[in-house]
Each structure stands twice: as structure tokens, then as C-alpha cells.
């Protein structure tokens, strides 16, 4: 009788056991249990479709977000104008959607570029170790110790086009690289005063060279007809400024993953078979470190959208009449008594985008990290 009960329980256990699932099927199953993440992903899909699909619906609502019609000044909400009209009679819904294209583009491209830079720095530091690791991590610590928003404001306030026109591209590049060298060398010394002087100098040189490449591209771009002014130049400058101060978190996460992965048996086997360092990095370390990279990049999008909104709110980002959520919010402050909804709508969309990206990233963390305890699975 006891043996029959044991066999019956084993049969029930086998019947209840889930079928074999791949890694991504497991990720999807775990992600679905995070309800806030699922609803946030739905909200992000709707927001992205509206922002990047607005040219398809714009002809039905007037077509031009910058079209001025003073007869519709402070117009009420209607079927033709779902969010009303602003102080110049422009359609608020169209301007929000076109502004969302800029804010989301800056957030997504900046997060992607920052992840690429952070992954490169982190995997090199974690795999090679030694003085390379010490210099890169002291450089990273120095960048982390810098107050990000004030420095972003300083860089955004610089009129780089005037530097290009007045002093030339290479003089401007030398000034910016020298500033990066001094800033990071001082920051590294303040972060760890016990380190040898060679570490401070090497960190400063790395900062100058690493910052010189994007700065050279930016200055060369601003010297062209396309980069001489307008929305494109503002967006490119904004993306580069944000990326320069957003890659450090990814770098530290990837370094930690690389330090762990490089000690595993399959990496030792690859070395024994004569695999080169770049082969080990690209075939073994980076693919196995993708989970923290994806999570960090997703969580960064919300923060970057906030940075873009703050800089545009201060008049240092995208310039009017081109709409972005930040400059729409700034412009609405002058009309709070006449039309308070003009400030409500851009603030609401900033809140929705940031919250959705944060919950989406939190859900991805729960799904991709097998060591993380997901409360919804308990």
C-alpha cells in the first residue's frame, strides 16, 4: 500500500513537471508574472507608436504642430483637438507627440550609446585586470563622483558652434580634452589618494582620449552645414552630453560580470585551446553579461528622459519652436493662470514615460536574473 502511494505521488509529480523550456521562454514566463512590468510595456508600446506614428495621423488634425491659429488660442478640449490648443493656437496633442519623438529618441539612443561605452570599459577592465583595471575603474569612480546635472548644464551652456567658428575645431578639441584630463585626474586623486601617481595620470589620459573621440565628432559635425544650427545639432549635442555622463553604471556592472565569468571553466578551456583575448571577450564574456547590460540600459532610459527634460526646461536642450516635453513644460509656466493644462500634459507624459521604463526595467531584472527573488513567484 505504501509503495502504491509513493508510485502515485511520483506519477503526479511527473505529470505536473513543466516541459523543457528555453532560456527566453523562461524569461517570458517570469516577466509575465510581474504585472506592473507587463502593463508598463503595453504603455511604452502605445507611447512609442503614437510618438513615431504621429506623421500618419497628423494630416487628420491639421498636419503641422507649429501651425499658428490665434482664433484657437487656449482652445478647449474637443474631438479635433483632444488636448486643446496653446497660447498660439497650436494643437497640444500634435506638439506632445512630436516632442515625444525627440525625448524618446534622445533617451533610447543615449542609453544605447552609453551601454556600448560602458560595456567596452567594463569588459576590458574585468578581463585584463591589473593596472588597466585600476586605471579604468579609478576613471569610472572619478566620473561617478562628479555631480552630473550641474556639469551637464555647464556643457550644454557652452556654444560649441562659436568655438568652432572662432578658434577652429582642433583648438576647441584640445581645450575640451585638457579640461577632461584635469577634471578626471583631480577626481581620481580625490576618490583614492592612496593610489600611485601613475594611476591618476593614466586615468586622466584615458579620459582625454575617450572624451576626445566623441567631442571631435561633435565639433566636426557642428562645423558642417547640417550641424551649424537647428534641431539636428541640438539633439546630437544633447545626446553626446548625456552619454558622456551615463555610461559608468553599465561599466561597473559589466566589470563585475567579467571578473566572475573569466574564472569559469569554459573560459579556461578556450584559453587552453589558444583562443585570443578578443575571441574570449566577444564569444564568451559579453554574451554571458547581456542580462545586466539590458537591465541597466532599460533603467537608464527613464533617467535620460528626465535629464533631457531638465536641460530643455532650462533652455539648454532642444530650442523652440521645435517641441520637446521639457521646453513645452517651460513655456507653459508663463500661462499657468490662463491655461494650467498646458503644463499638466507634458508633465504627465514625462511621468508616464519614466515610470513605465523603470517598471519595465524592474521586470526585466526579475526575469533575467535567476538569483533575484521575484515576489510574484512565491
Nearest to 155 by CA among 141, 140, 172: 172
Angle between helices 231-244 and 92-128 (to 10 degrees): 40
Percent of the chain with pLDDT over 70: 71
Q: Where are the domains of the chain?
A: 44-55+90-369
Residue 205: CA count within 13 A, CB half-sphere: 8
Question: Could you tell me how many helices (H) and strands (E) the chain has, helices first?
Answer: 18, 0
In sequence order, what are the residues at sequence separation of 6 or more whose Cβ sits closer than 8 angstroms to the Cβ of residue 240? 214, 215, 217, 218
pLDDT band at 375 (very low <50, low <70, confident <90, very high): very low
- Residue range 287-301: mean pLDDT, rounded: 86
Q: Which position has the higher pLDDT, 258 or 317? A: 258
pLDDT band at 178 (very low <50, low <70, confident <90, very high): low
DSSP symbols for 245-313: TTSHHHHHHHHHHHHHHTTSHHHHHHHHTT--HHHHIIIIIHHHTHHHHHHHHHHHHHHHHHHHHHHHH
pLDDT band at 308 (very low <50, low <70, confident <90, very high): confident
44-55+90-369 placed in CATH 1.10.3720.10: yes
Task: Please enumerate, as own/partner, the contacts of 44-47 that have beta carbons within 8 Å and a separation of 24 or more.
Answer: 44/353, 44/356, 44/357, 44/360, 47/100, 47/104, 47/349, 47/352, 47/353, 47/356
pLDDT of residue 378: 44
Q: What is the mean pLDDT of the chain?
A: 76
pLDDT band at 365 (very low <50, low <70, confident <90, very high): confident
Provide the CA 16 distance to its chain's centre, in angstroms: 42
pLDDT of residue 45: 93
Beta strands in 166-270 (DSSP E): none
Q: Give the max Cα distance, the chain.
A: 95
Q: Is the separation of the CB atoms in 53 and 98 below 8 Å?
A: no
Nearest to 39 by CA among 362, 280, 374, 370: 362
- Residue range 231-240: mean pLDDT, rounded: 76
**Residue 91 β-bridge partners:** 85
Q: Is the pLDDT of residue 133 over 50?
A: yes
pLDDT of residue 171: 59
pLDDT of residue 349: 92
Nearest to 227 by CA among 174, 314, 169: 169
Q: Of all residues in the chain, what percent are helix, strand and coil, respectively (each to 5)?
A: 75, 0, 25
Residue-wise pLDDT tens digits, 20-49: 677 778 888 888 888 898 999 999 999 999
Q: Is the pLDDT of residue 90 over 90?
A: no
Q: Is the pLDDT of residue 208 over 80?
A: no
pLDDT band at 94 (very low <50, low <70, confident <90, very high): confident
* 23: three-class secondary structure by DSSP: helix
Amino acid at each position: 500500500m505504501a509503495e502504491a502511494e509513493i508510485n502515485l505521488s511520483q506519477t503526479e509529480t511527473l505529470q505536473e513537471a513543466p516541459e523543457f523550456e528555453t532560456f527566453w521562454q523562461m524569461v517570458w514566463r517570469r516577466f509575465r508574472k510581474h504585472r506592473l512590468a507587463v502593463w508598463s510595456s503595453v504603455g511604452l508600446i502605445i507611447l512609442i507608436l503614437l510618438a513615431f506614428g504621429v506623421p500618419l495621423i497628423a494630416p487628420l488634425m491639421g498636419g503641422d504642430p507649429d501651425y499658428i491659429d490665434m482664433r484657437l488660442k487656449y482652445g478647449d478640449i474637443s474631438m479635433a483637438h483632444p488636448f486643446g490648443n496653446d497660447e498660439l493656437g497650436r494643437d497640444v496633442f500634435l506638439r506632445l507627440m512630436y516632442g515625444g519623438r525627440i525625448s524618446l529618441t534622445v533617451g533610447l539612443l543615449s542609453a544605447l550609446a552609453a551601454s556600448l561605452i560602458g560595456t567596452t570599459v567594463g569588459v576590458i577592465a574585468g578581463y585584463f585586470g591589473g593596472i588597466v583595471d585600476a586605471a579604468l575603474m579609478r576613471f569610472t569612480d572619478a566620473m561617478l563622483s562628479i555631480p552630473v546635472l550641474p556639469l551637464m548644464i555647464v556643457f550644454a551652456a557652452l556654444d560649441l558652434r562659436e568655438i568652432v567658428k572662432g578658434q577652429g575645431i582642433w583648438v576647441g578639441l584640445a581645450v575640451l580634452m585638457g579640461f577632461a584630463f584635469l577634471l578626471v585626474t583631480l577626481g581620481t586623486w580625490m576618490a583614492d589618494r592612496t593610489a600611485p601617481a601613475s594611476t591618476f595620470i593614466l586615468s586622466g589620459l584615458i579620459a582625454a582620449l575617450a572624451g576626445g573621440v566623441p567631442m571631435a565628432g561633435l565639433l566636426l559635425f557642428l562645423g558642417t552645414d547640417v550641424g551649424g544650427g537647428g534641431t539636428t545639432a541640438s539633439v546630437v549635442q544633447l545626446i553626446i552630453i548625456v552619454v558622456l555622463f551615463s555610461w559608468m553604471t553599465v561599466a561597473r556592472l559589466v566589470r563585475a560580470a567579467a571578473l566572475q565569468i573569466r574564472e569559469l571553466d569554459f573560459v579556461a578551456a578556450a584559453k587552453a585551446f589558444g583562443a585570443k583575448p578578443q575571441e574570449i571577450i566577444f564569444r564568451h564574456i559579453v554574451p554571458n553579461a547581456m542580462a545586466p547590460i539590458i537591465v541597466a540600459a532599460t533603467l537608464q532610459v527613464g533617467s535620460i528622459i528626465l535629464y533631457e527634460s531638465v536641460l530643455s526646461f532650462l533652455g539648454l536642450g532642444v530650442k523652440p519652436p521645435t517641441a520637446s516635453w521639457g521646453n513645452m513644460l517651460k513655456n507653459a509656466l508663463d500661462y499657468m493662470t490662463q491655461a494650467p493644462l498646458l503644463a499638466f500634459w507634458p508633465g504627465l507624459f514625462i511621468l508616464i514615460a519614466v515610470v513605465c521604463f523603470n517598471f519595465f526595467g524592474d521586470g526585466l531584472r526579475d526575469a533575467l536574473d535567476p538569483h533575484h527573488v521575484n515576489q510574484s513567484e512565491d
